[in-house]
Chains A and B, each alone.
Chain A
Amino acid sequence: MRLLPLIFKRQLASYACTPSTYLSVAVFLVLCAALGLHSNQWMEQDSSDLQAFFELHPWLYMLLIPGLSMHLWSDEHSTSFSNMLKTLHITSAERVIGKFLAAWVVCSVALLLNFPLVIAAHYLGTPDDGVIASQFLASWLLAGSYLSVGCFICALTHQRVVIFLLTMGLLLTLSGLFSVMDALEHQAPIWIVDSMMKLDPIARFSSMDNGKITLHDGLYFISMIFAFLSATIVTLNYKNS
C-alpha cells in the first residue's frame, strides 16, 4: 500500500483536469435542486429535513456515477502507459483502492456542493441537523457502493459504450428490484421476497434517509463496496497473469 497515496493523487488530478467531471457534477447538482423543488412542495411545507432532495439521489447517481467510473480506467487504454505502470510494481489493490477513493472524493465534493440547500432550509425553518447529516451520510455510502459497481464493470471491458450500458443496466436492475418485489409480493413465497428486499440498495437507502442510521444498513453498503472492489482486484490480477 506504499503507492496508494500516489495513485489517489494522480487520479484526483486526472478528474480535476477533465471537463466531463465538472459537467457530470454540475448536471447532478442542477437536476437535484430543480427536480427536488419541482416535484415537491418543500418550500411551502415547514419541512425539517431535505428528504425531498435526497430521495432523488439513487436515480441521479445513475447519471453521475457512470460518468465518473468510465474515467477511472481510461488511463489504461493506452497499452504503453499501462505497461509502464506494471513495471513500477503498483499492485492491483493499490490501483483499485486509490482510484476508487479518488472517485469517491469527487462524489463527496458533489454531495457537499448541495450546501445551499442546507442554508436555505435553515433560512426557511428549523431543520433537524442530525437528520440532514444522516441523509448526507446515507447518500455518500450509496454513492460509494454504486461507484464500486462501476469500478468493477470498467475493469471488465475497455469499450466506453459497453461500460456505460452495463453500468446503467446493472444499476437500473438493482433499483428496479424494488418494483419487481412489489409485483411479486402475492405470487412468490414471502421469504424470497423478504430476502430479495434486503438486497435492494434503494430500500436500504430510504430507511437510512429517514434519519435512522442502523449498523446493518451501514454495513450493507460497506460490504457491497468491499465485495465489488475485491471482485475488481481479482479481475485485474486475472488479466495480468
Chain B
Amino acid sequence: MIEVSNLTKYVGKKSVISDFSFCAQRQECVGLLGEHGAGKTTLLNLICGITTPTSGHISIEGFNTQAHPVIARQAVGYQPQGGISHHTLSVTGILNFVAAARGLSGAEKRRHVDRVATRLELHPVLNCPVDVLGLGLKRRVAIAQAILHSPSVLLLDEPTEGLNAEQRLKFRVLVQSLSEEMSVIIASRHYDSLSDICTRALVIANGRLMADSSLQDLQRSSRHFQAVTLAADPPLDLLALAVLPGVAGIEEDRQNPGKVTVLAMPGHAVFPAINSLIAHRGWNITSLHIEPGRLNDVVHHLSHEVSP
C-alpha cells in the first residue's frame, strides 16, 4: 500500500511536482499517464527515494520514506526507463549484486535469483553481459531486479515502449500476476497498451494531478466513446450517416479516404442505427469497429487545460 500526500518538488525555482496526492492499495494496478515532460519519471524517482521531495509525505506500507528510509525503500521495486545497462556486469552479476544489497545470501539468494529469472524468462541470457542485450531484455532484467525482494510496491517506467504484440501480451500476463501480490504503478505515454492492464488511471500534467479515475471512466469521457469507425469500398453517403439519431458528428480520415468515424452523443449508442442503415443500403463495408474511447485525446485534452 502506498500513500502520497501533498507532494511537491522544486528543481531550482521550477516546480516539477506540485501538490500531488494519491493512494494505491495492494492488488491494484495504477497507470500514470501523461505527456512527455509531465513529471511521471520525477514522481517515480520521488517514490523510490532517488530524489527527496521539497515538501509532502510518501508512506509505503505505513512507513514514511523520510523518517524510515531503509524500511520504506525495502518495500519498493523500481524499473528505470530503458532498462539497466552496465559495461562489465552480466545478468547474473546484476541480479546477485542486487540480491546481496537487499540482504539476501546463500541458498536464499540463489532461490530468489532463480525464481525471478524463471518468471522473466532470463535463463538463456543469464551469463551474457547486459550491454549486449536488446532493449526488451534490458528492461526484463530491470523488472527482475525490481521484484527480486518481493516488494509491496512496484514502479515501472515506460515498460511497454517498443514491444511487439506478442511481447505485450506476455507483459500483460506478467503484470496481472504481479498485481496479485503487490501494488503496481506503471508510468507510460503509450496509453492504449495500458488500457487492458491497469484498473485505475492517474493523469499528470505539469506535475499536477489532473484526473484520478478508473480507466473505463477516462475512456468514457472521450468524445470517441461508442463512436463507430467504418470504411467501405465505394465512398459512403455521409449525409445519410449524419442524420441518424444520436449522431454528434462525422470525422473523415484524411490519410485513408473512404474511412469515417461517426461520433455518438453522450449516452447514445449509434451502432444499431448504423447497422440497419448498412443493411438497408447494402453497403460493401471493408472494416468496422466500435471505439472504446481514445485515451490519447483525453490525456492530451486534460494536459492542455493547465498549459494553454
Q: Residues of A contacting B81 with CB < 8 Å?
A: 80
Residue of A nearest to B93 (CB): A13
Given A3-B101, A88-B101, A75:B86 Cβ within 8 A: yes
A6 and B73 form a contact (CB under 8 A): no
Q: Residues of A contacting B45 with CB < 8 Å?
A: 83
Total interface residues in chain B, CB < 8 Å? 30
Query: How far is B83's CA from A78's CA once the two chains are assembled, in angstroms?
Result: 11
Residue of A nearest to B80 (CB): A80
Query: How far is B70's CA from A83's CA once the two chains are assembled, in angstroms?
Result: 16
Residue of B nearest to A6 (CB): B100
Which A1-45 residues have a C-beta within 8 angstroms of B? 2-3, 6, 10, 14, 17-18
Within the complex, the shortest CB–CB distance from B52 to chain A, in Å, comes to 6
Is B225 located at the chain interface by the 8 A CB criterion?
no
Which A110-157 residues have a C-beta within 8 angstroms of B? none
A86 and B101 form a contact (CB under 8 A): no
Given A6-B100, A10-B97, A87:B87 Cβ within 8 A: no
Given A87-B78, A88-B102, A80:B70 Cβ within 8 A: no
Is A81 located at the chain interface by the 8 A CB criterion?
yes
Is B299 located at the chain interface by the 8 A CB criterion?
no
Given A14-B88, A78-B86, A90-B101, A84:B52 Cβ within 8 A: no
Is B258 located at the chain interface by the 8 A CB criterion?
no
B88 and A84 form a contact (CB under 8 A): no
B69 and A83 form a contact (CB under 8 A): no
Q: Residues of A contacting B80 with CB < 8 Å?
A: 79-80, 83-84
Is A241 located at the chain interface by the 8 A CB criterion?
yes
Query: How far is B87's CA from A75's CA once the two chains are assembled, in angstroms?
Result: 8
* Contact with A80, one of B52, B69, B85, B98 (Cβ below 8 angstroms): B85
Interface magnitude class on chain A? 20 to 34
Is A186 located at the chain interface by the 8 A CB criterion?
no
Q: Residues of B contacting A14 with CB < 8 Å?
A: 88
Query: How far is B85's CA from A88's CA once the two chains are assembled, in angstroms?
Result: 16
Query: DSSP majority for the A interface?
Result: helix
Within the complex, the shortest CB–CB distance from A88 to chain B, in Å, comes to 4
Within the complex, the shortest CB–CB distance from B148 to chain A, in Å, comes to 11
Q: Residues of B contacting A240 with CB < 8 Å?
A: 51
Residue of A nearest to B74 (CB): A89
Q: Residues of A contacting B51 with CB < 8 Å?
A: 240-241
Which A82-120 residues have a C-beta within 8 angstroms of B? 83-84, 86-90
Within the complex, the shortest CB–CB distance from B74 to chain A, in Å, comes to 8
A17 and B88 form a contact (CB under 8 A): yes
Query: How far is B48's CA from A87's CA once the two chains are assembled, in angstroms?
Result: 6
* Contact with B101, one of A6, A78, A241 (Cβ below 8 angstroms): A6
Within the complex, the shortest CB–CB distance from A75 to chain B, in Å, comes to 7
Mask, B60-85, CB within 8 Å of A = 1, is 00000000011001101110111111
Is B50 located at the chain interface by the 8 A CB criterion?
yes
Q: Residues of A contacting B98 with CB < 8 Å?
A: 84, 88
Within the complex, the shortest CB–CB distance from B49 to chain A, in Å, comes to 6
* Contact with A89, one of B70, B85, B145 (Cβ below 8 angstroms): B70
Mask, B35-70, CB within 8 Å of A = 1, is 000000000010011111000000000000000011
Is B142 located at the chain interface by the 8 A CB criterion?
yes
Query: How far is B82's CA from A18's CA once the two chains are assembled, in angstroms?
Result: 25
Query: How far is B84's CA from A241's CA once the two chains are assembled, in angstroms?
Result: 22
14 of the cross-chain contacts (CB-CB < 8 Å) are: A6-B97, A14-B88, A17-B88, A74-B87, A78-B85, A78-B86, A80-B82, A80-B83, A84-B78, A84-B84, A87-B50, A87-B73, A88-B101, A89-B69
Give the top 8 A-B pairs by smallest Cβ distance, nearest first.
Answer: A88-B101, A80-B80, A86-B50, A89-B73, A87-B78, A87-B48, A83-B80, A80-B84
Task: Give chain A's interface residues, CB within 8 Å of chain B.
Answer: 2-3, 6, 10, 14, 17-18, 74-75, 78-81, 83-84, 86-90, 240-241
Known: A3-B101, A6-B101, A88-B98. 13 other contacts (CB 8 A): A2-B103, A75-B86, A78-B84, A79-B80, A80-B81, A80-B82, A80-B142, A83-B50, A84-B80, A88-B73, A88-B101, A89-B70, A89-B74
